[in-house]
Amino acid sequence: MSAYTSTNPATGETLKEFPELDAAGVEDALARSAAAYSTWRTTSAAERAEVLNAVAAAYDEREQELAELIALEMGKPVRQAVGEVKLSAAIYRWYAEHGPALLEDQVLDAADAPGAETSVVRTLPIGPLLGIMPWNFPYYQVARFAAPNLMLGNTIVLKHAPSCPQSALVMEEIFAGSGLVRDAYVNVFATNDQIAEMIADPRIQAVSLTGSERAGAAVAEIAGRNLKKVVLELGGSDAFIVLDSEDLDATVKSATRGRMNNTGQACNAAKRFVVAEGLYDEFTEKLTASFASMSHGDPLDPKTAIGPLSSQQAADTLASQVDKAVEQGATVLTGGKKVDGAGAFFEPTLLAGVTPEMDAYREELFGPVGVVYKVGSVDEAVELTNSSSFGLSGSVWSSDTDLARETADRLEVGMAFVNEHGTTMPGLPFGGVKRSGFGRELGAWGMEEFANKKLVRVSAAK
């Protein structure tokens, strides 16, 4: 049985299966991408922008179809799936609008680079890239990687999550129908061994992975041996720090949304609620009630806010983590177990009493499970937040924005927010530190990771 199988996690029904690449298929994909690079790299910035605009338009036109497809494949509630499609279109459109200016030559000041008639830094592509993408945001994750790099002139070999084969093929179809040079974007249903082979192949110039720590370490090891640059966006255990609140109900609503979006399956979701002791009891009571009021449902129903996890395996893993936390002394305030039935549903869950000795203190809980902590000071909140091995993002909530900003500055994360959490926009950089990975996506930063910043100096003939 192929790993690339589309299964509805709400019912357990297998929808479709796709064959994996054979050895000839690996060589074919690499050869096609390399051949396309020789053409795509020579196209003008304006032509590349036209293609990305066409991709964005296709996402707009097929919005409902694309949303329903990922609702079926990985269980995202369709209303949220529509939002993902819109965001993906916005990313392609942003690079179409801003990309040409970001590719303009940078002329160095003569005072900084004396001795030549001109000194120019050019922003150029480096060649075929390999992207390894996860299932939790099937379109958005690809857009973050593909849009800036296609705008730059690189070509892409894309290995998507095995559980999202239909959406992977639709994206390849959209690129092909939007005027992209043939084979500048190649989808591959590859095995892990084949991916290792591709990373080592001299035609692949760099690798971007969004996924687990384990996968990131494996990819980085192979890439390092072959002197390839990597961008890694890995796990997260983001803190939602509540110092005070003038409207606690609104703060709790934001906390619930920050944790439960995409059924909690987001690397930058609010996973740890770090609350000042004066607010802790009331905040925890309200957050418990908010979580308990949420019910799961058919992801194709526009009213559904909580869908299934992506698979039964994911639900089983989360159940095991919660059970282990309870065995080690944590308290379940609401939820705590899988929902009976064929689907991969898990109850919205809030834990308290998690201590540094427990596995749940260190692990990423990838699903609708939050942990609440009481702290006695800002220093304690910062210390607790920074004790995590992850460093993706975090947020600070307070009516005193100066204090909140100062606190946010102390967080060891790649993205810090004040009175909002996890904001993602095309022009904002996305990425983390520590075991959350390295490198940045989106905005101008997303076009710099896999670029040749080439110096060209012209001196008078002697």
**Dihedrals φ, ψ of 420, to 5°?**
-160, 165
How far is 426 from 324, CA to CA, in rounded Å?
39
Q: How far is CA 416 from CA 37, 215, 254, 371, 374, in A?
A: 37, 25, 16, 19, 20
Q: Which one, of 260, 11, 262, lies nearest residue 134 by Cα? A: 262
CA 271, chain centre distance (Å): 15
185-188: strand order across its sheet? 185-188, 155-159, 128-132, 206-210, 229-233, 437-438
- Which residues are CB-neighbours of 199 under 8 A, at least 6 positions away? 130, 207, 219, 222, 223, 226, 228
How far is 5 from 17, CA to CA, in rounded Å?
4
Q: Where are the beta strands (DSSP E) in 61-117?
A: 106-107
67 φ/ψ sector (left φ>0, alpha ψ -120 to 50, else beta)? alpha
DSSP structure class, residue 444: G
Active site annotation includes 164: no
Out of 84, 267, 347, 449, pick the active-site residue: 267
Active site annotation includes 17: no
Three-state DSSP at 59 gives: helix
354 φ/ψ sector (left φ>0, alpha ψ -120 to 50, else beta)? beta
DSSP string, 362-431: HS---SSEEEEEEESSHHHHHHHHHTSSEESEEEEE-S-HHHHHHHHHTS-SSEEEESS-----TTS-B-
DSSP-derived pairing of the beta strands 128-132 and 155-159: parallel
Contact 371, 352 (CB under 8 A): yes
CA 98, chain centre distance (Å): 22
Out of 73, 84, 172, 233, pick the active-site residue: 233
Residues designated as active site: 233, 267
